[in-house]
Amino acid sequence: MRRQVKGEAVRRELLPGTSPALLKELHLLTRQGDLNADSLRKLKQVNHLANLLAPALDDVLGRFGDPVVVDCGAGKSYLGFILYELFLGPAGKGRLLALESRPDLAKAGAERAARLGFDRLSFVEAPIDAAPVPERVNLVTALHACDTATDDALALAIRHGADHVAVVPCCQAEVARQLDEAKEPSPLLAPLFAHAWHRREFGSHLTNVLRALALEAHGYKVTVTELTGWEHSVKNELILGKKVRATSRDAQARLDALLAATGVRPKLLRTLAGAGPDGGTPA
């Protein structure tokens, strides 16, 4: 049965500071102010992530005069608009760049930001790995950026010295393909991905393990947690990183060992290998 949320029940789903006008503009609320089942699922996800990002946003807004937030693979940028309304708008400072490669979504997002008067929220029509962003950014987010787009978001965060990064990966397929083609995987690990089903599942898990280790190797304290309960989405793994040091030799060693044992090399690591002093192998 599809759930319809109305009246006071809708207000209970809103975070303090979220306006019904914004949610109607995002087509999460109907004209009557109701939430359908799909909109409720999306809103719960974005609200949960906004709550988890509050410490990071408070940190960068407190420490920097004009912090830059980059929302990668923004789509309709539900997350970006809500973060702007809850944090950047009230703070009166900071910019949010929403990166979106699809022209129609980028154009619609820019028009929506203009209608709402969100003058420090701008859309950049470009792929994540080719988008013009400031040399220094403070927070990078990516909610369900598909497959290697999450790698592009993480590479952007690392290469631009982001103080915080938060990604919810989606559709990790690249590593599963590499496992299928691996020449000399560890005999101990090979049974974990000998069958196609296991290869997909193990490949997805391995992808995010490697992403977390790459962040640690580049000086981030990493937390991996659940975005929402299983009732809202099966794509619910959240990787949070906070920059705490320059690099970590120990994490780099563990990353190298795992790469050697599995025979894979995901896009994130290929990108960072050519990233220069800030994105290369730690010294």
Q: What is the CATH number of the domain that holds 108?
A: 3.40.50.150
Question: Which amino acid is present at 3?
Answer: R
Helix (H, G, I), strand (E, B) or coil at 71: strand
CA 171/CA 179 separation, integer angstroms: 16
User: pLDDT tens for residues 109-133?
Assistant: 999 999 999 999 999 999 999 999 9
Residue 227 covered by a domain: yes
And the tokens for 5?
Answer: 């949320």
Per residue in 130-144, pLDDT (tens digit) is: 999 999 999 999 998
Residue position matching structure tokens 């296991």: 198
Q: Is residue 37 part of a domain?
A: no
Residue 64 belongs to what domain range?
45-273
- Alpha carbons 148 and 208: distance in angstroms, whole number: 11
pLDDT in tens, 151-209: 999 999 999 999 999 999 987 788 889 998 887 888 888 889 889 899 899 999 999 99
Total-model pTM:
0.90
Q: What is the pLDDT of residue 261?
A: 93
| pLDDT at 222 exceeding the cut of 50 | yes
Q: Strands of the chain (E only): list them.
A: 68-71, 95-100, 121-125, 139-146, 164-170, 220-226, 237-243
pLDDT, position 231 = 52
- What sign has the CA pseudo-torsion 178, 101, 137, 140? negative
What is the reported pLDDT for 234? 55
In a domain, 184, yes or no: yes
Number of domains in the chain: 1
The pLDDT, as a whole number, for residue 120 is: 98
Does residue 28 lie within any of the structural domains?
no
